[in-house]
Amino acid sequence: MVKEVDGRWWYCCPRCGKKLNPLRAGAVCRGVLARCRGVRRDGSRCGWEGEMVVEPGDWTLEQPSLPA
């Protein structure tokens, strides 16, 4: 999952939302394995492991437009 945090784009854990890897403009990732070592709100470890898949259409650097 890709999120913007403090003006930078990050690949985040799909389970707990912890930032895992920063992304640059136009980044494409396939086959990159990642492991989350984040701690959930209940104190347990997340432990998500999986492949980072970032496609060009998944995210954009443009700011969302506000409704008129």
pLDDT, one tens digit for every residue, the chain (68 residues): 888 888 888 999 988 889 999 988 888 888 899 999 888 788 889 889 999 888 876 666 554 443 44
Domain that holds residue 48: 2-58
Does the residue 65 lie in any domain? no
Long-range contacts: 48-52, Cβ < 8 Å, 24+? Answer: 48/13, 48/14, 48/15, 48/16, 50/14, 52/11, 52/20, 52/21
Residue 31 DSSP label: E
Does the residue 23 lie in any domain? yes
pLDDT of residue 20: 92
Does the residue 35 lie in any domain? yes
**Are 63 and 42 within 8 A, CB to CB?**
no
Tokens 């999986």 identify what position?
50
Does the residue 28 lie in any domain? yes
Q: How many helices (H) and strands (E) does the chain have?
A: 0, 5
Structural domain tally of the chain? 1
Does the residue 53 lie in any domain? yes
